[in-house]
Structure 1
Amino acid sequence: MSFQPTPTDISVIISTASHTDNKETPSLATERRITPSWSISVLKAKLETMTGIPPGSQNLLFKAPGQADRWITGGEERQIGEWGLVRGCEIVVHDTRPPTARVNFGDISSVEKYELPTETYETLSNSVLAWKKNQKLGRFNPDAQSPESLLEEQVARDTHEISARGIAVSKRAIVLPSSPPHIRRGTVRYVGPVKEIPFAPLKRTLDETEEQPVWVGIELDEPTGKNDGSVAGTRYFECGSSCGVFVKPEKVQVGDFPPLELDFDDMEEI
Structure 2
Amino acid sequence: MAAAMLTRRDIDALKEYVSAPGNFGQNQAESTVRLHVTHSNLKAEFIELRLDLHMTIDAVMTKLSSHCGTPGGDMLLQLRDNNGKLVAILTDAHRKLGFYSPRDGWVLHIVDTNPNSLSARGWLEDTSKVQKYTMSDEEYKARENTYWKFKEEKLKEDPEWTAEKELCMRRGIPYVPPKQKENIDDEDYMRAEAGALSVGERCEVDPGGKRGVIRYVGRCSGLPEGYWVGVHFDEPVGKNDGSVKGKRYFDCPEGYGSLLRPYKVRAGDYPEVDEFQFSDGDEI
TM-score (ref. length: structure 2): 0.36
Higher relative contact order (CA 8 A, sep 6+): 2
* Structure having the higher Rg: 1
